[in-house]
Copies of this chain bind each other. A is one copy, B any other.
């Protein structure tokens, strides 16, 4: 059974991912909520800002912590259009995020040519983290989860990174 609020936030994250491709970024979006309210929304800006750390989740975490004026978000939820890469997962843990809900699995990032899994192989020795805290990661499968990646692969002027 899917919580309608969770579904709505993920749909927004996916819409942000599609907008990102349209504005020269990678096909990833993220939303952070706190007590049922949106605190931050962001999309991938790696090639737009020449910043390898500007993944959607990191951009959203930086925005949310700036807005709330504290480095910890233990009362917040991260919604990500795709399964978080090792950098975004570790950043979320530093921010004390207790729950991450994502739509597309890591295999979609592979399909689109991103290095999430090669990096995970170096760090985890496998595609997914070894021992995430119970409840930390939830996949909510949505029909539209693959659309940002389809957009990306169809985009003639995409900048891989």
Interfacial residues, chain A to chain B (CB-CB below 8 A): 46-47, 49-53, 58, 61-62, 65-66, 68-73, 85-87, 89-91, 93-96, 115, 119, 121-126, 129-133, 136, 161
Contacts and interface: CB of A to CB of B under 8 A. Distances in A.
A161 B71 contact: yes
Which one of A53, A62, A121, A125 has the greatest number of beta carbons of chain B within 10 Å? A53
Copies in the complex: 2
Contacts of A136: 122
Given A123-B124, A124-B124, A161-B72, A91 B129 contact: no
B119 A130 contact: no
A90 B95 contact: no
